[in-house]
Amino acid sequence: MPDPEAVKRDLAITSSATTSTSSPTGGSTPAANGDTNPRAAIAPRDRSLRPPASALLADIEGAASAARDDTPTGSPPGLMPIPTRRRLEYASRPSVLLFRKKRRAPVGASPGTLAASEEAEPTEVHVIRFGLQGLLEHALEDGDELPSPGGDDKLWLDVRGLADVDLLQSIGTHFRVHPLALEDVVNVPQRPKAEVYEQLHDQEKELQYLFVFRLVAFDEAGDLSVEQLSVVLGAGFVLTFLENHHDPLKPVRKRIQPAEGRLRRFGADYLAYALLDTVVDGYYPVLERIAEELEALEDEIIERPAASRLKQLQRHKRNLLLLRRAVWPQREALAAVLRHPAPLIQEETKVFLRDVHDHTVQIAEVIESYRDLVGELTNTYLSVSSNRMNEVMKLLTVMTSIFIPLTFLAGVYGMNFQHIPELKVPWAYPALLVIMLAIAAVMLIYFWRRGWIGKGPEDD
């Protein structure tokens, strides 16, 4: 077991409720099977070089192509329009947490010890058994026996909430999930990864894959929420574990409904692919919104470099850091699965997994571009603020320069000597005022012609 004093936190944040958004990405030309694949923004409910922003947004829009499974046979990939960009009103929001305390077993506990969070939601289990012959979906009630995979049907056990450690342990025992894999499922958050576990059962080797991915979305307050999704792929079954009770995988359930859909005809590995694909697709609405806000910020920083703009840039910097920490390990995990032999994953499914890997690569590149953009916008804000301060100081300096000779004249003729010849001349006082005004006017004209105030000839 790792020392809890050595690592105090892991990558994750407290997340809260959000609404789902659709955005398709492209793949190979689908067959006419009635299977739809809407893009959905994943909506966790309870947790917490420099192209312009418009060009970066165009990269996302260009990458979003038609849904794989709902295009008629022979039709070329199409594009679903991304929502029109809008100018956003900014408000000060509390910073999201970059780190969340990881749940760990007591020091010295044996590997595989489960430690659920005190804030974990009650555990609910939904069973979906489907195949070419039909579809059966129901919630698992107390006292019900856990289903077992078998026959030509595929079994999907959707677990939401990680509070009931005993039930989770029973599920792990029933499906022979490796103790270390179950520990990664329950003791959240974990670093995104893909691992293979090989166990001996009845003198035969049994393989299982564990995928740990991150669901991301903006909540209604505009904060980025992140949640762990764990997917266990076995022979003929898939187990999914979510921290909360919301349903970000609803699009996949809809795709199972058509009797001729690809999910009905393919194996459990294709179901695992569909789940991972839905997770990755959820990053597109998030990046689109960040692009909109950065584009609006770029104009506002130049026009009105208020202190609130710097706070917004810092919030985007933290959000992009969270996205980077989620996407890069996911990209590495998918690349590892594609590089090595995977007996449970068919070659037909690997083609689709390569497409998901391509999306993660593209998302990682866009995130890096946005991070560079945020850094340059921060420098722009500081430069504009400095220029505005210089303008103020220049104006004050000009005013001071004008009053220096005037103050000198007033000081000379304000001395309390009895014999100052000019003081006895009747017109001396108005003459002095005229001279002082003439000096001020000449200096103003000189400063204007040099371009130090207003827009002089040297500015043309």
In DSSP notation, 155-209 reads EEEEEE----HHHHHHHHHHTT--HHHHHHHHS-----EEEEEEEEETTEEEEEE
- DSSP bridge partners of 126: 139, 158
Mean pLDDT of 333-342: 89
Mean pLDDT of 94-101: 48
C-alpha–C-alpha distance, residues 261 and 346, integer Å: 17
CA-based nearest residue to 187, from 273, 237, 120, 89: 120
Q: For the segment 181-227, what is each residue's pLDDT rounded down to a tens digit?
A: 999 999 888 899 999 998 877 777 889 999 999 999 888 777 888 99
CB under 8 Å to 98, separation ≥6 — which residues? 11, 13, 318, 321, 322
Q: Are 92 and 311 in contact (CB under 8 A)?
A: yes
Query: If you average pLDDT over each of 60-74, 417-431, 433-447, which comes out highest?
Result: 433-447
* pLDDT over 90, % of the chain: 33
* pLDDT for 89 beyond 50: no
- Distance between terminal CA atoms of the chain? 71
* pLDDT for 271 beyond 90: yes
Q: Could you identify the residue written with the tokens 């000081």?
A: 411
Q: Are 29 and 230 in contact (CB under 8 A)?
A: no
Q: Taking CA 106 as the corner, what is the angle to CA 105 and CA 111, rounded to the nearest 5 degrees?
A: 50
Q: What is the pLDDT of residue 284?
A: 94
62: left (phi over 0), alpha (psi -120 to 50) or beta: alpha
* Domain covering 9-384, topology: Beta Polymerase; domain 2 (3.30.460)
Q: Are 422 and 413 in contact (CB under 8 A)?
A: yes
CB-count exposure of residue 7 (10 Å: 0-12, 13-18, 19+): exposed
Q: Could you identify the residue written with the tokens 């980025």?
A: 224
C-alpha–C-alpha distance, residues 69 and 82, integer Å: 19
Q: Could you identify the residue written with the tokens 């500015």?
A: 459
Q: What is the pLDDT of residue 168?
A: 92
Q: What is the mean pLDDT of the chain?
A: 77
Q: Are 305 and 296 in contact (CB under 8 A)?
A: no
CA-based nearest residue to 93, from 264, 312, 364, 277: 312
CB under 8 Å to 299, separation ≥6 — which residues? none
CA-based nearest residue to 367, from 424, 303, 301, 290: 290
State the amino acid at position 222 in one-letter form.
Answer: G
Strands 224-234 and 237-242 turn out to be antiparallel
Q: Taking CA 235 as the corner, what is the angle to CA 124 and CA 266, rounded to the nearest 5 degrees?
A: 90
State the amino acid at position 210 in one-letter form.
Answer: L
Instruction: Give CA separation, 294 vs 320, 377, 439, in Å.
Output: 12, 9, 49
* pLDDT for 76 beyond 90: no
Prior bond of 189 cis (ω within 30°): yes
Q: Are 29 and 71 in contact (CB under 8 A)?
A: yes
* pLDDT for 36 beyond 70: no
Query: If you average pLDDT over each of 29-43, 63-77, 136-150, which comes out highest?
Result: 136-150
Q: What is the pLDDT of residue 205?
A: 82
Q: Which residue has the higher pLDDT, 80 or 300?
A: 300
CA-based nearest residue to 187, from 207, 212, 217, 156: 212
C-alpha–C-alpha distance, residues 369 and 49, integer Å: 8
C-alpha–C-alpha distance, residues 208 and 191, integer Å: 19
Q: Are 317 and 374 in contact (CB under 8 A)?
A: yes
Q: What is the pLDDT of residue 456?
A: 55
State the amino acid at position 183 in one-letter form.
Answer: E
C-alpha–C-alpha distance, residues 206 and 112, integer Å: 19
* pLDDT for 82 beyond 50: no
CB atoms within 10 A of CB 178: 19
